[in-house]
Amino acid sequence: MPDAFLDGWAALPVWLADLLLFLALLAPAFLLGALVLRGFAIGPLLSALLRRQVWVSVVFVALIAISVGLGAGLIAQERGLRQGTAPAADKFELVVAAPGSEITAMLAAVYLQPSDLPLLDGETYDRIASHERVEIVAPLGFGDSWRDAPVVGTTAEFVAYLSEGLAEGRHFAAEYEAVAGARVPLGVGDAFSPAHGIGDAAEHGAHGDLEYEVVGRMPLTGSPWDRALMVPIESVWSVHGLANGHGPGWDGEIGPPFAPAYFPGTPAALVRADSLAANYGLQAEFSTETTMAFFPGTVLARLHALMGDIRQAMSVLAVITQVLVTAGVLAGLMMLTRLLAKRLALLRALGAPRRFIFALTWSFAVTLISTGAALGLLLGVAATRAISSIITARTDVLVSARLAWPELHLVAGFVSLTAVLALLPAFLTMNRPVIRDLRG
């Protein structure tokens, strides 16, 4: 039976399963509502009471909205980060680096975070480059910058692979030509002079009056490479006084093949294998004492899992906050019903059934709860948007925030749970003494 149920559930399209789950989570609140409100037309009185206690209601709604927004925002933010960082790493299937931290190497190679990595030598690079299963391999050269944009030395072939076609211009074909990322404020034909180092430590003028000319621009990739200036690796080596990767008698044509003896080293080799199987093969082959081969996707997935764990812990706190806030609001509501006691007693005296008072108080609570929950969703998404745009501005990883099912499920569950909790103040209010309240 569970098998049949599960398989039937799995046979549904994901969106339908999500929708049904959402409805199932919301169903208790609606069933309860139908049951509690059966036979009554509480609308006018409910809105009268809400208007009577408008400021208290606004405060209660705001409290619920903030706590729900926190919970929803956490989920949306985590997903946004996952969905933003993953595509940025998609093109980097396999990275070979000198042994060390996979995370550091990934942050440097994929997300262009400045770091001090040991180098792979020319022999090793040549072994990778000449491997029959390797389709593309590219060295990376870091260290220079122009304003905030890192200048990254690599090959034209890799830029072509990364960009899947330039937005404008052509690939670099000579040593002092460059391709600009989509967010670099330089157009085709502009020239720039690189500084040694990055950020505040950059030494301007260290490279003399060297200038690169921008000959092409990449389309937006949603990754930190959007802020980078890509130049031929040969020029990066040259300006630092190193060999340029080619032996004597080089004809000046940039790019591979490189001569192992004149290869100054690269912190990482970006590898694309000819098949998925080959990626695993190469990873095994280059996991040696002198080389470290890893899938950035796996490293990132592990970081995602870690982030997911932290987010779940925070979500538990957020849920506790939500429940505490709601309990506070319901307790506040009890006091509020005391302010309304005379009017409620009047209704009883006029012949309204106790259940009507029950329905009225419950609807009051559920109106505050559901309004707060709906606003909380919006608030969560708005906050996530704001945070995401800051992250995007700082890291160039395109992080977006959209409302998705998990938040809706959370909020639906919250509404149903608290709709049940709201039965308690409704029950207590229903049993208040009529005569005393009427005289009071």
Partner 1 sequence: MTTPRGRSLTLRDLEVTGEGGRRILYVPRLQIAAGSAVAVRGPSGAGKTTLLYALAGLVSPAAGRILWDDEDIAPLGEPARAAFRRRTVGFVFQEHLLFEELSAPGNAALAALYTAATERAAIRARAAEQLSRLGLDRSAARRSDSYSGGERQRIAVARALAADPDVILADEPTASLDRANADRLADDLVALARHEGRTLITVSHDPAVHARADRVLDIADGRLAADTAQGAPGAAHA
Partner 2 sequence: MTMQTTRRRALALAAGFIAAPALLRAQGDEAIKLRELYAGDNEFSEFARDSEGERITVEGFMAPPLQADSTFFVLTKMPMSVCPFCETEAEWPEDILAIYTRRKYRVVPFNRKIVVRGELELGGYRDPETGFVSLVRLANAQFDYA
List interacting residues with partner 1 (CB under 8 A): 39-42, 44-45, 47-49, 51-52, 342-343, 346-354, 356, 434-435, 438
Determine the 3-state secondary structure of 51 from DSSP. Answer: helix
Question: Which helix (H) or strand (E) element contains residue 378?
Answer: helix 354-395
Q: Which does 48 bind (CB under 5 to 8 A by kind): partner 1, partner 2, none?
A: partner 1
Look-up: residue for tokens 């040694």?
A: 196
- Rounded to the nearest whole angstrom, what is the least distance from the CB of residue 372 to partner 1 in the complex? 22
Q: In what order do the strands lie in the sheet with 134-139?
A: 134-139, 268-273, 94-97, 292-294
Q: Which does 312 bind (CB under 5 to 8 A by kind): partner 1, partner 2, none?
A: none
DSSP lists the bridge partners of residue 217 as 168, 180
Q: What tokens were used for 118?
A: 């040991």
Among the residue ranges 157-165, 204-212, 220-228, 296-304, the one whose residues contact partner 2 (CB under 8 A)? 296-304
Does 85 contact partner 2 by CB under 8 A? yes
Q: Which does 14 bind (CB under 5 to 8 A by kind): partner 2, partner 1, none?
A: partner 2
Does 272 contact partner 2 by CB under 8 A? no
- Rounded to the nearest whole angstrom, what is the least distance from the CB of residue 161 to partner 2 in the complex? 13
- Rounded to the nearest whole angstrom, what is the least distance from the CB of residue 131 to partner 2 in the complex? 13
- Binding partner 2 (rule: CB under 8 A), the pick from 28, 32, 56, 83 is 83
Q: Which does 139 bind (CB under 5 to 8 A by kind): partner 2, partner 1, none?
A: none
The one-letter amino acid code at 281 reads G
CA quadruple 33, 38, 41, 46: dihedral positive or negative? negative
Cα(71)–Cα(62) distance, integer angstroms: 14
Contact by Cβ (8 Å): 112, 228: yes
Does 167 contact partner 2 by CB under 8 A? no
Cα(210)–Cα(240) distance, integer angstroms: 12
- The site map against partner 2 for 297-326 (x = CB under 8 A) is xx-xxx-xx--x------------------
Residues 6+ apart with CB under 8 A from 236: 141, 143, 144, 151, 153
Q: What tokens were used for 203?
A: 């030494």
Closer to partner 1 at the Cβ: 8 or 351? 351
Contact by Cβ (8 Å): 282, 134: yes
Q: Which does 47 bind (CB under 5 to 8 A by kind): partner 2, partner 1, none?
A: partner 1
- The site map against partner 2 for 18-57 (x = CB under 8 A) is ---x--xx--------------------------------
- Rounded to the nearest whole angstrom, what is the least distance from the CB of residue 25 to partner 2 in the complex? 8
Contact by Cβ (8 Å): 91, 162: yes
Closer to partner 1 at the Cβ: 51 or 394? 51
Cα(318)–Cα(73) distance, integer angstroms: 10
